[in-house]
Amino acid sequence: MTRHHESESGRAGPRPEPYWPKRPGFSIAYWFLRYGLEFLMRLLYRVKVEGRANVPRKGSVILAANHLSAFDPPFFAIAFRRRITALANARYFDSKNGWFFRGMGQIPLVPGDDISRDLAFDCARGLLGHGKILGIFPEGNRSLDGKLHRGRLGVAVLAREAGVPVVPAGIVGTFDVLPKGAKRPKVFRRITIRVGEPLTHPSGRAVDDRAFTDAVMASLAELTGQEQSNTYTESRTRRAEPAAS
């Protein structure tokens, strides 16, 4: 369940509830949607996961992925047996598909909004504190040109504060299936998810957040073969280099 809040800038968005690991109805909805989604996606696409063993079977971890398409989160969810709770753009929760994001238990985040970021990060830290998996797209928004854009610092901040490793997961093929702006997805295409080795924040100090974020992005570039860009995915001005979604 989400509640709405209004920031100082006047922008409203869903307010995430504090993470609570034992909500039976919430869990039932997630697994019902997750396995229904897997059946549909594997029926329509050829999904291959490489390096799945790099994701630990238990314990807290952050899965960081590139972001090329609205189809990235669904493929991300079915690639691993463990439950993944991801940070997601808050606008999706108020869309016609908002029921899906709420049912999957994703954490809403308004890009560029400090209050929303703090609330979302509180939920993320609670989730990691309970030994769960957090999914994050460090680019913050979908790539329009297929390049891998500069990562935002949220992945490093959460890894440092929670003291957990980051596992890079490169998604290949979704840009062709449903790039941003496309109205209908293409089917019967191959989707590959390549999982790299865990990365650990080098010092636990904020001064190294940028270097660690760049290391995560470099690993994703190696996994996907994407050309790297030194620009962010969004052109609008932000008050500070923010978290991720």
Per-residue pLDDT tens digits of the chain, which is 245 residues long: 444 554 444 555 555 554 444 454 457 888 899 999 999 999 999 999 999 999 999 999 999 999 999 899 999 999 999 999 999 988 888 888 888 888 888 999 988 889 989 999 999 999 999 999 999 999 999 999 999 999 999 999 999 999 999 999 999 999 999 887 788 999 999 999 999 999 999 999 999 999 999 999 999 999 999 999 999 996 443 434 444 54
User: What domains can be seen in the chain, in order of their start residue?
Assistant: 20-224 (3.40.1130.10)
Instruction: Give the closest residue to 134 by CA, choosing from 169, 88, 85.
Output: 85
Strands 190-195 and 2-6: unpaired
Nearest to 65 by CA among 136, 162, 14: 136
Residues near 60 by beta carbon (within 8 Å), at least 6 away in sequence: 128, 129, 130, 131, 132, 133, 134, 162, 164
Residues 5 and 16: their CA atoms lie apart, in Å, by 9
CA distance 72 to 193: 10
Cβ atoms of 87 and 136 closer than 8 Å: yes
Give the gyration radius of the chain's Cα atoms: 17
